[in-house]
Amino acid sequence: MTRSVTTRRSTVGRRAARTAVVLGATAGLTYSLPSLATLRRLRLRVTPHLAGIGAADHVALTFDDGPDPVSTPQFLEVLAELDVQATFFVLGSLLADSPALAREMVAAGHELAVHGWDHRPMLLRGPRSTRYQLERTRDLVAEVTGRAPRFVRPPHGILSAGLLVAARDLELTPVLWSAWGRDWTAEATPRSVLATLAPDLHGGATVLLHDCDCTSAPGAWRSALGALPEIAAR
């Protein structure tokens, strides 16, 4: 059986298209595979270090999405009363607007870490954009506070291969969380935050809360603020 040149070219074209689709899907899966760590129970079992499981004699208290000149100072005040230090995963775009507040946070003994320049999920960014987000925020933290950040937590806790590579190159350690208060919803209250945290609030835990509502329901940060004294007591 013979085929025309046109038929052969058409067959080759279809095969090439199928191959491109397979390769693209494989590349996309590989790039997004780390995002499975977003599933908290899975990462607690498989990657406890990434989940923030640490020494059993302490709990790491962390806040995302700030700094905010309205809400963050109120957290600083309560934390000072409780004599508790925390790690704040900051957005570079907000840090650029409140450098004095950031210096106040560090002067109070708190740690600043990288959350990203904005809150767009890193999985929606390519490798170059991801690195730019992290590097820009890292450099601004170092410039404003005089201390280079050590940790990175991507928005929504969604990892990607691009983020892991960039974090390694920038000497940033990714860390997510093992306990959260779901304090970003409009229905959240100090009592609901405590109830949500309770099953996972134990030695070695890393607790996720929010000191800003820039990506949450308006005023939702008050639920985390109100829960802080009891969290410290527990």
Active site residues: 64, 210
Say how many CA atoms lie within 13 Å of 73 toward its Cβ.
7
Radius of gyration in angstroms for the set of CA atoms belonging to the chain, rounded to a whole number: 22
Distance of alpha carbon 102 from alpha carbon 99, whole angstroms: 5
The region, left, alpha or beta by phi > 0 then psi within -120 to 50, assigned to residue 159 is beta
Tokens found for residue 77: 């005040």
| Contact between residue 20 and residue 168 where contact means Cβ atoms under 8 Å apart | no
Give bridge partners of residue 63 from the DSSP assignment: 88, 209
CA 10 to chain centre: 47
